[in-house]
Amino acid sequence: MSVHDFTVKDASQNDVTLDRYRGQVALIVNTATRCGLTPQYAELQELHSTYKDRGFTVLDFPCNQFKSQAPEIDAEIQEFCQLNYGTTFQTFAKLDVNGSQAHPLFQYLKEQIPQDQELTESGAVQKTATAAPDASDSGEIKWNFTKFLVTAGGDVVARYAPTVPPKQIAAAIEELLTD
């Protein structure tokens, strides 16, 4: 099993199989439009622009589970990202990342790298208490902008805390890219 075995909805509610990203290194991110971390969209776009021709992409999954910070409908979220941050990477339909309604993709991501293996800004493994009241040590996503780095073959190799700036992940992305 790999990330490529999952099907998700795009912002227009069309099914998208993640197999279409086979051969590309991906950064999967749960996002929100009204979060203090929302400006990370600019760095996500910078990573996408810098490495897309070498086989990298950002996969954006809006989520409204954390203090309702992504209340817009899918088309509005996509438009917000494009107009305010110039995003050109794929923005998918909103989904749940935690709880009984968590999308199977995020259940899988959390199983591959639980929260206690999440990397912080210093590069250390996360060992602190969770930030969100619904997150637990079981691997739940603790906040918007948690990031999962995925190989071209679909294997999850790293999980980054929400506060890790996307540009800080550039070296890890470069290690996975082939020229």
Domains of the chain by start residue, with CATH: 3-176 (3.40.30.10)
Instruction: Tell me the pTM.
Output: 0.92
Question: pLDDT value at position 105?
Answer: 98
Averaged pLDDT score across all residues of the chain: 91
pLDDT in tens, 58-95: 999 999 999 999 999 999 999 999 999 999 999 999 99
Residue 139: band (very low, low, confident or very high) from pLDDT cuts 50, 70, 90: confident
pLDDT in tens, 32-55: 999 999 999 999 999 999 999 999
- Residue 156 above 80 pLDDT? yes
Catalytic residue of the set 35, 93, 102, 113: 35
Q: Which two tokens stand for residue 56?
A: 């990298």
pLDDT in tens, 7-39: 999 999 999 999 999 999 999 999 999 999 999
Residue 74 CA neighbour count, 13 Å, CB half? 14
Residue 124: band (very low, low, confident or very high) from pLDDT cuts 50, 70, 90: low
Residue 63: active-site member: no
